[in-house]
Amino acid sequence: SDSEDHVYKVILLGEHGVGKSSLARIFGGIEDSHEAEEAGNTYDRSIIVDGEEACLLVFDIWEQDDNHWLHNQCMKMGDAYIIVYSVTDKASFEKASELRIQLRRERQTEDIPIILVGNKSDLVRSREVSIEEGRACAVVFDCKFIETSAALHHNVKDLFEGIVRQIRLRKDSK
The SS3 call for residue 59 is strand
Q: What is the rounded distance in angstroms from the CA atom of residue 25 to the CA atom of residue 42? A: 9
If one asks whether residue 22 binds ligand GDP (CB under 6 A), the answer comes out as yes
Q: Which stretch binds ligand GDP (CB under 6 A): 11-19, 42-50, 70-78, 158-166?
A: 11-19
CA atoms within 13 A on the CB side of 114: 25
Binding-site string for ligand GDP from residue 140 to residue 169, where x marks contact by CB under 6 A and - marks none: ---------xxx------------------
Comparing every residue's Cβ against Mg ion, the nearest one is 21
Q: Which does 113 bind (CB under 5 to 8 A by kind): Mg ion, ligand GDP, none?
A: none
DSSP state string for 1-16:
-HHHH-EEEEEEEE-T
If one asks whether residue 21 binds ligand GDP (CB under 6 A), the answer comes out as yes
Which residue in the set 59, 119, 162, 163 belongs to the binding site for ligand GDP (CB under 6 A)?
119
If one asks whether residue 113 binds ligand GDP (CB under 6 A), the answer comes out as no
Q: How far is the CB of 17 from ligand GDP (least distance, A)?
A: 4
Q: What is the rounded distance in angstroms from the CA atom of residue 85 to the CA atom of residue 18? A: 5
Q: Strand 41-49's sheet: what is its strand order?
A: 41-49, 52-60, 7-14, 80-86, 114-119, 144-147
Residues that bind Mg ion (CB under 5 A): 20-21
